[in-house]
Amino acid sequence: MRPLKFDNRFLNTFPDIATRVHATHVKNPEMLIWSEEAAALIGLDKPKDPHGIEAQIFAGNQLVDGMQPYATRYGGHQFGTWAGQLGDGRALILGESINGRHERLEVQLKGAGQTPYSRRGDGRAVLRSSLREFLCSEAMFHLGVPTTRALCCVLTGDKVERDMFYDGHPRLEPGAITTRVATTFLRFGHFQVLAADRNVEQLKQLVTYTINTYYPELMGDRVKWFKELCRRTAALVVEWMRVGFVHGVMNTDNLSVLGLTIDYGPYGLMDIYDPDWTPNTTDEQNRRYRFGQQAAVALWNLQRMADALALLTVDQGENHTQWLREGLEYYADVYNAGYVEMMARKIGLPTASVDLLTKLDNGMRAAEIDMTMFFRQMAEVRESEPTMTTKQALGVLALAFYKWPQPANNTDPLELWLKDYLEECKRDTRPVTEIVKDMNAVNPYFILRNYLVQEALDGLEKGDRKRLDQIWRALRTPYEINSDTRALYKKMPDWARTRAGCSALSCSS
């Protein structure tokens, strides 16, 4: 393995929120899957032996020169309620790696054992959650969504007890560890816990460090920094909405200070279009973190971040929070404009009115329709638009339907939308070939559906990794039509509607 260079500046700068800790030794590490693209970020080659030194290092059994593992302390609002101190209960950062381009990247193990912040947990992770995190991190990257990365997933050779749905039926499952890579894993909760401690000096120091290290172009300006954080967060949620991603646990401790998708727990990429859907069984009753609520929740979380940052200027008079209010208003402007622009691109129009998008939403809700396949098929509608009737357009889109709509009074809301849409298309003078190309660049052909990951896990349980390898190839070319993506261009099967791990997941891992 090539040598890695480490500069553990954060650990040495913030002893109040970074605590040295070592991983718990595991029995028999084995490399299950490796991302060459993520490995290139820190200058590593693909392992030659699944039981080699890479497996030992990324299972936490062995350190290399410069690694100084640590876990961090943070707080957070969970499901809208302040939960107090939390922290890296099952994650530890091996160190801050400096690559050949002098870029700083944190390398983190998830599932490596107990830390000072584990509370009553064992600090471990199981294969199903570890593989889901690995695959989705890389899938989101290739979809073009800002995200932390996954370097590898290592089987530990140990068994971990988990009660998947907290229903009193625990079982032993294969243990695994995911190695994650990001510029930083700092999250809103790191700032919140310092504010809760009334530790203004450390909070001020953390803000300065964050800007100087990760936003150097802002020259230490906290006003511009918060505005940029709001912009990045808004842009991130727009991207989630574009591909149908539901985070599932949008607590403030799960939002990145860089505007990255972070912490893949009970997530889902939507099969049947439903703005009220959440994959998280813990949130099943209130659906706080449902698909259609994500933009509002992100704003609420930014407001809680603003509450923490307000301590920095509390001595500056009556209008000391004006800079924070302006940032929050900017979030709303960026999100609203970005969402409309994104949706217009998805349906192949230069712009789209709120009325047209509302009718589209109503039409898609009226039937059981696959979100990804619907928008991908729309390119065929757009391509044939000059001669296409609404009935013919529905025929092209039929592939995406789970169940055909049953409208009252024989009035199909989707057909009514298509009629308005086709009229809008006639007013668009851009070359159709360019429009279709742009539509196919924002509407993926392949997404990482939960049932596919479950099929991969079922295969691994039998010693068969064919499905895993096929998914791994397909997720790296999500906009292309090739043998792997074509084979997986299918709606969710009926068996997956009620299968645990497919339509419903819990926070347990």
Residue range 230-276, pLDDT digits in tens: 999 999 999 999 999 999 999 999 999 999 999 999 999 999 999 99
Q: Quote the pLDDT of residue 91.
A: 96
Cα-Cα end-to-end distance for the chain? 30
- A 10 A CB-CB count for 453 gives 22
- 507 pLDDT above the threshold of 80: no
The pLDDT of residue 189 is: 98
- Across 275-286, average pLDDT: 92
- pLDDT greater at residue 319 or residue 22: 22
Question: What integer is the mean pLDDT of 27-56?
Answer: 96
- pLDDT of 301-312, one tens digit each? 999 999 999 999
Band (pLDDT 50/70/90 cuts) for residue 403 is confident
User: Are 126 and 509 within 8 A, CB to CB?
Assistant: yes
The arithmetic mean of pLDDT across residues 138-152, rounded, is 98
pLDDT for residue 129 is more than 80: yes
pLDDT at 508 over 80: no
Tell me, what's the pLDDT at 411?
67
Q: Say what angle helices 354-365 and 413-426 make with each other, to 10 degrees.
A: 140
Pick from 36, 68, 76: which is nearest to 54 by CA? 36
Least confident of 1-15, 57-71, 325-339: 1-15
What integer pLDDT is reported at residue 386 of this predicted model?
79
Q: 173 has which bridge partners?
A: 160
Residue 165, pLDDT above cutoff 80: no
Task: Encode pLDDT of 171-203 as tens digits.
Answer: 999 999 999 999 999 999 999 999 999 999 999
Q: Which residue ranges make up each domain of the chain?
A: 9-185, 189-341, 345-442
pLDDT tens-digit map of 240-252: 999 999 999 999 9
| Global confidence as pTM | 0.96
Q: What is the residue type of 435?
A: I
pLDDT at 509: 45
In this predicted structure, the answer to whether residue 219 has a pLDDT above a threshold of 50 is: yes
396 pLDDT tier (thresholds 50, 70, 90): very high
The pair of three-digit structure tokens given for residue 420, joined into one six-digit string:
């308005």
Strand-pair partners of 495: none
**Which residues have a catalytic role annotated?**
253
* pLDDT tens-place string over residues 314-367: 888 778 899 999 999 999 999 999 999 999 999 999 999 999 999 999 999 988
The pLDDT of residue 407: 53
Q: Whole-angstrom Cα distance, residue 423 to residue 415?
A: 13
Tokens (6 digits) for 367:
């039937």
SS3 74: coil
Mean pLDDT for the chain overall: 94
Strand-pair partners of 126:
175
| Strand partners for 176 | 155
Backbone phi, then psi, for 466, in 5-degree steps?
-60, -45
Q: Cα torsion at 311, 315, 318, 319 (round to 10°)?
A: -60
Q: Is the pLDDT of residue 35 over 80?
A: yes
Query: Are the C-beta atoms of 166 and 508 separated by less than 8 Å?
Result: yes
